[in-house]
Amino acid sequence: MEKELQWDSNAIKPSRPACTFLVPQDLEPFLRRQRDRHRWVIAYLQFLLGKAALYRAQGRLPNVQRVTRKYQADDPTIQRWHVRVPGELWTELRCLAAGCGVTMCNMFVILVRLDQQDEVRPKTNVGAWSSLYGKSIDFFEKVSLEDGITRRRTFFRVSSDPPRTAIRADGPLKGRSGP
């Protein structure tokens, strides 16, 4: 007789975990410009996560078919960027990275590189995607013990309205403390 056990967990702490992004030195000048343009690294991260659905639709996000997460390539010029990321963005980045089969630091660098490519590419076929905001990212991972295959599924939910807790370039939205 088969039996399933299920449980729910709701996590809200820490609300702004300390994290370190490992950024290749060649990408640092672009990241500094974008940080200054968005005012904070976390506002830029939110912007990047909002573009993730577009990148997936374009087939530009990785899809690593391995059980373990793919790390960044070894690089002696790696720079450490220490930030405190709001819990909801941290979880969103984790879900996106896990769905692609890469680590969170690697996902951040991939998103920054894609944004850098967009800056030099002509803007084509942006249309409706430019006004969409990420509403949620759902990530599911399962393993069948019969065949030993790990399967991942990621769902993007988008909205034309910004999230209530969105971080804007001119400051946080009402009701949210600043980073």
- 51 vs 86: CA distance, rounded Å: 18
Give the chain's end-to-end CA distance (angstroms, integer).
51
Any domain includes 37: yes
Any domain includes 95: yes
- CB of 167 closer than 8 Å to CB of 173: yes
**H-helix or E-strand spanning residue 28:** helix 28-38
Six token digits for residue 5: 């056990």
Q: Specify the number of domains making up the chain.
A: 1
Beta bridge partners of 157: 136
Any domain includes 23: yes
**For the whole model, what pTM was predicted?**
0.79
Any domain includes 2: no
Q: Indicate the DSSP class of residue 161.
A: S
3-state DSSP assignment of residue 81: strand
pLDDT, tens digit, for every residue of 125-163?
A: 544 444 556 667 788 888 888 898 888 888 877 777 766
pLDDT given for residue 175 in this prediction: 36
Any domain includes 4: no
H-type helices in 68-170, by residue range? 87-100, 104-120
Q: Which residue reads 């971080």 in tokens? A: 167
Six token digits for residue 161: 């309205």
Positions in the chain whose pLDDT score sits under 70: 1, 122-135, 162-179
Any domain includes 167: yes
pLDDT given for residue 103 in this prediction: 93
Q: Which residue reads 């790696």 in tokens? A: 78
Any domain includes 6: no
Any domain includes 146: yes
pLDDT given for residue 117 in this prediction: 95
Domain that holds residue 145: 18-172
Residue 141: CB partners within 8 Å, gap ≥ 6?
98, 150, 151, 152, 153
